[in-house]
Amino acid sequence: MAHAMENFCTISEEYHIDGEVGFALPNPLENLPDVYNDWMSIAKHLPDLIESGELRERVEKLDMLSIDHLRDHKSQRLAHLVLGCITMAYVWDRGCGDVRKVLPKNIAVPYCQLSEKLQLPPILVYADCVLANWKKKDPNKPLTYENMDVLFSFRHEDCSKGFFLVSLLVEIEAASAIKEIPIIFKAMRMQELDTLRKALLKTASCLEKALQVFNQIHEHVNPQVFFNVLRIYLSGWKGNPQLSEGLMYDGFWSAAQFLQDMRMYMPPAHRNFLCSLESNPSVREFVLLKGDADLREAYDACVKALVDLRNYHLQIVTKYILIPASQKSKNETSKEPSKQENKGTGGTDLMNFLKTVRTTTQKSLLKEG
């Protein structure tokens, strides 16, 4: 019997990975059931509500709603996105340092209940703002930046469309590489070296194309606007001095130090996919064992394409976070950017984390240089 990882249909069904958009949620819902109209109204008008100073009052006046009417996965994912956006807007408001440390019960309770159901944290995560926050303008046209839009943003002209959609388009471009995984594992089992070599080269090509798509970020996202506006609403509580004790979810619990493991920010099906990959035979060990020069070259092309993506990510972080942070600190006559400004949205020290990931990837190369 063929291994489950040798069939893309099985992978797609079991791990919620789509043939066209990969880890992204295919065709996300744009509206919740009518009972949640008040949530939707706030989420759709965040820029105006924040600008007018009405956002927090509107949130505090919300009725407590049950999540029982969110009966399918897509409606639950949309609700998690909606509540995540409302939560970030409520906590940070205009981003001027007036921070709320307690999320009101009427939003905290359903948000935490829904998060438990989805096995996601009660905070805006990548799975929300990138993977589920999109729509096609014309359903009959392809998935291009020009034919897509985000469902929600925080401020007018905050670059959220550019940041979220370019990130999504990189995911979509890389999705083709996932289709090569079953071919790779089957070729290893059947000892079909030429098939394996071609699949590895195809994977490398997919990753190279994803890097080309990543380039679009320069066209659509302004570094100063990203750093000074959008980044604020993507900031988490962990390691954040403005919320040193975390956010208190009234009526539920405090989330001061939740989730040490990066994978816990992923949908559980995607976490399981990574675990399944790790439990399969090592491609690197197989290629080493075979001693085939062409196969080794194809494998290294694959790893190098991933290293190039890691390197490019480091360049983006430098341009969009480190340089603006340095400029801000100079304007404020302090000596260096604060530690918080050099942290990622989950509180990680970005450069150290990304450099460690890149180094780990580089070590997988069979040939140095």
In the chain, what's the furthest Cα-to-Cα distance? 68
DSSP state of 220: H
Residues composing the chain = 369
329 contacts: CB under 8 Å, gap ≥ 6: 335, 336, 337, 338, 341
**How far apart (Å, rounded) are the C-alpha atoms in residues 18 and 143?**
14
Residue 270 assigned to a binding site: no
Angle at 323 between CA 317 and CA 324, to 5 degrees: 100
Residue-wise DSSP of 24-72: SPSS--S---GGGHHHHHHHHTHHHHHHHT-HHHHHHTPPP--STT--S
* 368: Cβ contacts below 8 Å, ≥ 6 apart: none
* Nearest-angstrom CA–CA distance, 67 and 325: 40
How many other C-beta atoms are found inside a 10 Å radius of the C-beta of residue 239?
16
Q: From the annotation, which residues make up the binding site? A: 313
Q: From the annotation, which residues make up the binding site for heme b? A: 313
